[in-house]
């Protein structure tokens, strides 16, 4: 018995080598507070993957440990990640809804010998912060670039861009501008709105006065989006024929019941729509809805989490359960599989996901609910943001 | 010139929304001397009730508004009896701690019962149409809110300044012991005023929901805005609150139109300037 205890202790001290039977995955995300819905989606995606694929890889059992970080808080994110690594002994870090949270935890990875799988945070630069970062979500550049082509091809030549004044908003503005000017259009004016804007009427007046034929918008999903879209309709811009372009954050599924009629016909580009028509997605949505409870709450972070789990399972398979971050990351470089969102690949160079981006239109289903209807596919889109930053 | 008119209309509409939502807080803080940080939470409860009535039960907008006001008051009565009654006349810190606690409880309950998604309150067809003012269009709902704001201002002024109850209320506030000695039932007066303030919060939450959508964090998200309006206007003064709302609405709207990248800079600059010049607010009464 005594020798066994010593052996177990030794094994634990060595970081659970070879026959570790439980592999822990630490997931950091917003599970309470104003963004709890997005955290809930993380959890639904993870639960769905484990329900469909079992909670074991080989002989090892996977255990998920959640840590809550209600709003973007880099210091807290770093502390929680460190605690997960040191105290809980996790072999993988995953989750991360906000860019600053993901960034703050990257310096830990190399020393801790832990890979990080980013399930949402959408700023291009995160993957450059450590060679152990893999991302299964999207970047704002990735989703905002195709809409510029859609706008230009649709006959709109002069566009005003209106974004919320924070990191992703500025990213979206730059991505759209780059894409649209390359196509031959002109961005006549670029407005950055404060995040705390409740009344968008003055912004609508600016749009009207600019004489642009279309508006490109980016706002964080939630209450502000609702106000913006309503103001767009009520101030007569829709009736005046001003076109509306945006990445899919604005029409995420969980906001659609509230946006309702006023969002009808809005075109956005994004990597995932819950309505995506494939067998993979049907299976995923069924399992994820079971996990989340209310089908109306299912939205894009769930698919990032689902694919993130796929990557982690593959990493565990490749390392045989041993803690070897370099080997694990190497194993998933170039990995391709059929995700609920369509065919995807982990780009070996950037470790970011290459995927289809879809043009969707908000449509009304027969049962009176609203959904994003995919109408065009841009295949195998990488992340143009990294190239632009160089 | 057209632009000036246009900004003017937006400023008026935004100012009135602020007024309708904040005036209840001005009453509790100014007349009842309670720093009620849970004001936004009551506005949110009103919004949820109206949303439930109009969306899930399919009732009309007017009925939903009435249900929201009555329902919120019914919820608030036991809260007043059990919790608020203990903090009348207590130091501000006690009041702040108690009411922020109530706010967090209400947020948690709303999140649990209604879920974290946005809730809208469907407005009737007539309020949804854009109305042309000649030089621009504005939504009928905005005009409705402006009307509501004026009606609330007039009604409340009459209630406090011209009715027998208003006299009792002002007497109780100025000297509770003396008023009680003269036969005023101060507890009843306080309860009724609290109910009125909560009812106004609920009303504001419902009619303002187009600009400030209902979701669980409503209660915290707009708390600063409500408090700013009350402190700039002068707690307890209806004309003061009205002036503050129109002024702040105007500055905010103009700033956002001309220089959106400055964010809330002009709004808070104005607040600092006003509070510096009038430490008790525009129409605050000296103690």
Residues 6+ apart with CB under 8 A from A328: A92, A115, A315, A316, A318, A319
Instruction: Confirm whether B230 is domain-assigned.
Output: no
Mean per-residue pLDDT over chain B, rounded: 88
Test A294 with B3 for CB contact under 8 angstroms. no
Q: What share of chain A is helix, strand, coil (3-state, %, to 5)?
A: 45, 25, 30
Helices (H), A113-255: 140-153, 167-183, 201-210, 223-234
Fold annotation for A22-138+277-351: Rossmann fold (3.40.50)
Is A286 part of the contact surface with chain B (CB cutoff 8 Å)? no
Token pair belonging to A338: 């059929």
Test B137 with A235 for CB contact under 8 angstroms. yes
* Complex prediction ipTM: 0.73
Can you give the pLDDT at residue A2?
Answer: 58
Q: What is the pLDDT of residues B109-139, one digit of tens each?
A: 998 898 888 888 888 888 877 787 777 777 8
Of B118, B212, B264, the CB nearest to A255: B118
Instruction: Confirm whether B96 is domain-assigned.
Output: yes
In contact, A218 and A250? CB cutoff 8 Å: yes
Give, as one character, the DSSP assignment of residue B212.
Answer: S
- Nearest-Cα residue of chain B relative to residue A37: B116
Residue A52 Cα distances to A273, A284, A318, B16, angstroms: 20, 8, 20, 53
Residue A327: CB atoms within 10 A of its CB come to 14
Is B48 part of the contact surface with chain A (CB cutoff 8 Å)? no
Residues 6+ apart with CB under 8 A from A253: A273, A274, A296, A298, A299, A300, A371, A372
**If DSSP codes are grouped into helix, strand and coil, which group holds residue B189?**
helix
Mind telling me how many Å the CA of A93 is from chain B's nearest CA?
A: 26
Can you give the pLDDT at residue A16?
Answer: 44
Is A265 part of the contact surface with chain B (CB cutoff 8 Å)? no
Test B137 with A296 for CB contact under 8 angstroms. no
In chain A, ranges of CATH 3.40.50.2300 domains: 22-138+277-351, 141-270+357-389
Of B17, B215, B260, the CB nearest to A203: B260
Test A209 with B141 for CB contact under 8 angstroms. no
> In this structure, which CATH number among 3.40.50.720, 3.20.20.70, 3.10.180.10, 3.40.50.2300 belongs to the domain A141-270+357-389?
3.40.50.2300
Test B117 with A257 for CB contact under 8 angstroms. yes
Can you give the pLDDT at residue A17?
Answer: 46
**What is the enclosing helix (H) or strand (E) of B145?**
helix B140-162
Q: What is the pTM of this model?
A: 0.81
Is A258 part of the contact surface with chain B (CB cutoff 8 Å)? yes
Mind telling me how many Å the CA of B34 is from chain A's nearest CA?
A: 27
Instruction: Confirm whether B222 is domain-assigned.
Output: no
d(CA A303, CA A158): 35
Chain B residue numbers with beta carbons less than 8 Å from the beta carbon of A37 are 116-117
Is B261 part of the contact surface with chain A (CB cutoff 8 Å)? yes
Of A196, A234, A257, the CB nearest to B130: A234
Residue B175: CB atoms within 10 A of its CB come to 11
d(CA B137, CA A240): 11
**If DSSP codes are grouped into helix, strand and coil, which group holds residue B118?**
coil
Of B3, B130, B217, the CB nearest to A236: B130
Mean pLDDT, contiguous 10-residue spans, chain A (390 residues)? 56 50 93 88 96 91 94 92 94 94 94 95 91 94 92 92 89 93 92 86 88 91 83 84 91 87 89 93 94 90 96 94 92 95 94 95 91 93 80
Q: What is the pLDDT of residues B24-78, one digit of tens each?
A: 999 888 888 889 999 999 999 999 999 999 988 888 899 999 999 999 999 999 9
Of residues A118 and B222, more confidently modeled? A118
Residue B155: CB atoms within 10 A of its CB come to 12
Can you give the pLDDT at residue A19?
Answer: 56
Instruction: Confirm whether B83 is domain-assigned.
Output: yes
Place of tokens 């998200």: B221
**If DSSP codes are grouped into helix, strand and coil, which group holds residue A337?**
strand
Chain B residue numbers with beta carbons less than 8 Å from the beta carbon of A220 are none
Instruction: Confirm whether B7 is domain-assigned.
Output: no
Of B120, B137, B212, the CB nearest to A236: B137
Q: Of B86, B278, B238, give the one whose Cα is nearest residue B151.
A: B238
Is A240 part of the contact surface with chain B (CB cutoff 8 Å)? no
Residue A1 Cα distances to A8, A9, A18, angstroms: 10, 12, 21
**Count of structural domains within chain B:** 1
B90 dihedral zone (left: phi>0; alpha: psi -120 to 50; beta): beta
Residues 6+ apart with CB under 8 A from A17: A11, A322, A323
Q: Is the dihedral of CA B192, B194, B200, B206 positive or negative?
A: negative
Can you give the pLDDT at residue B65?
Answer: 94
d(CA B233, CA B244): 5
Instruction: Confirm whether B265 is domain-assigned.
Output: no
Test A258 with B213 for CB contact under 8 angstroms. yes
d(CA B39, CA B43): 6
Q: Could you tell me the residue range of the domain that residue B100 belongs to? A: 13-216
Of A165, A202, A222, the CB nearest to B263: A165
A200 Cα distance to chain centroid: 26
Mind telling me how many Å the CA of A227 is from chain B's nearest CA?
A: 6
- Nearest-Cα residue of chain B relative to residue A166: B261
Test B217 with A34 for CB contact under 8 angstroms. yes
Residue B186 confidence (pLDDT) above 80? yes
Of B13, B130, B257, the CB nearest to A205: B257
Angle at the Cα of B207 (from B201 to B209), degrees rounded to 5?
A: 95
- Nearest-Cα residue of chain B relative to residue A210: B257
Q: Of A386, A241, A202, give the one whose Cα is nearest residue B266.
A: A202
């Amino acid at each position: 018995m005594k020798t066994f205890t010593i052996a177990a202790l030794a094994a634990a001290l060595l970081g659970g080598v070879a026959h570790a039977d439980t592999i822990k995955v630490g997931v950091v995300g917003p599970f309470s507070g104003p963004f709890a819905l997005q955290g809930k989606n993380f959890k639904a995606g993870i639960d769905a993957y484990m329900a469909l694929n079992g909670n074991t890889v080989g002989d090892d059992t996977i255990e998920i440990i959640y840590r809550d970080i209600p709003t973007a808080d880099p210091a807290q994110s770093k502390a929680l990640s460190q605690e997960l690594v040191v105290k809980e002994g996790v072999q993988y870090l995953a989750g991360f809804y906000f860019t600053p949270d993901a960034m703050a935890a990257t310096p830990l990875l190399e020393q801790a010998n832990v890979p990080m799988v980013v399930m949402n945070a959408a700023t291009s630069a995160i993957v450059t912060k450590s060679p152990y970062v893999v991302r299964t979500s999207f970047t704002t550049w990735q989703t905002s670039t195709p809409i510029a082509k859609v706008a230009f091809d649709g006959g709109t030549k002069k566009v005003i861009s209106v974004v919320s004044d924070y990191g992703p908003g500025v990213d979206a503005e730059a991505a759209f501008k780059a894409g649209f000017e390359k196509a031959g259009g002109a961005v006549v004016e670029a407005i950055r709105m404060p995040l705390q804007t409740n009344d968008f009427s003055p912004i609508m007046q600016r749009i009207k006065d600019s004489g642009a034929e279309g508006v490109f918008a980016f706002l964080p999903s939630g209450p502000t989006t609702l106000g913006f879209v309503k103001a767009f309709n009520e101030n007569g811009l829709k009736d005046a024929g001003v076109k509306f372009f945006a990445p899919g954050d604005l029409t995420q599924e969980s906001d659609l019941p509230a946006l309702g009629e006023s969002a009808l016909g809005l075109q956005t580009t994004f990597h995932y729509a819950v309505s995506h028509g494939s067998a993979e997605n049907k299976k995923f949505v069924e399992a994820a809805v079971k996990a989340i409870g209310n089908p109306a709450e299912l939205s894009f972070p769930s698919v990032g989490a689902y694919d993130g789990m796929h990557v982690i399972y593959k990493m565990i398979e490749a390392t045989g359960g041993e803690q070897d971050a370099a080997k694990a990351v190497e194993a998933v470089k170039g990995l391709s599989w059929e995700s609920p969102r369509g065919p995807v690949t982990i780009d070996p160079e950037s470790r970011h996901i290459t995927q289809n981006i879809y043009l969707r239109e908000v449509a009304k289903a027969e049962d009176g609910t609203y959904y994003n209807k995919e109408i065009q596919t841009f295949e195998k889109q990488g992340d143009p943001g990294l190239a632009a930053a160089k | 010139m057209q632009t000036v008119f246009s900004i003017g209309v937006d400023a008026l509409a935004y100012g009135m929304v602020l007024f309708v939502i904040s005036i209840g807080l001005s009453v509790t803080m100014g007349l009842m001397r309670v720093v009620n940080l849970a004001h936004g939470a009551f506005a949110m409860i009103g919004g949820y009730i109206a949303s439930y009535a109009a969306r899930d039960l399919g009732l009309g907008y007017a009925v939903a508004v009435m249900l929201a006001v009555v329902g919120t008051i019914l919820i608030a009565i036991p809260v007043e009896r059990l919790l608020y009654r203990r903090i009348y006349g207590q130091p501000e810190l006690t009041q702040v701690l108690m009411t922020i606690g109530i706010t967090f409880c209400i947020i948690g309950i709303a999140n649990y019962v209604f879920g974290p998604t946005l809730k809208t309150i469907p407005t009737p067809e007539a309020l949804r149409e854009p109305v042309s003012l000649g030089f621009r269009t504005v939504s009928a709902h905005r005009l409705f809110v402006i009307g509501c704001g004026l009606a609330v201002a007039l009604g409340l002024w009459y209630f406090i300044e011209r009715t027998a109850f208003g006299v009792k209320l002002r007497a109780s506030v100025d000297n509770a012991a003396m008023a009680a000695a003269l036969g005023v039932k101060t507890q009843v007066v306080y309860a009724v005023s609290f109910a009125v303030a909560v009812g106004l919060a609920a009303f504001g939450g419902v009619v303002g929901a187009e600009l400030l959508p209902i979701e669980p964090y409503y209660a915290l998200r707009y708390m600063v805005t409500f408090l700013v309006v009350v402190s700039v206007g002068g707690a307890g003064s209806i004309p003061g609150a009205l002036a503050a709302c129109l002024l702040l609405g105007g500055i905010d709207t103009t700033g956002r139109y001309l220089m959106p990248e400055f964010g809330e800079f002009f709004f808070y600059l104005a607040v600092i300037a006003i509070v510096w010049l009038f430490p008790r607010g525009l129409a605050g009464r000296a103690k």
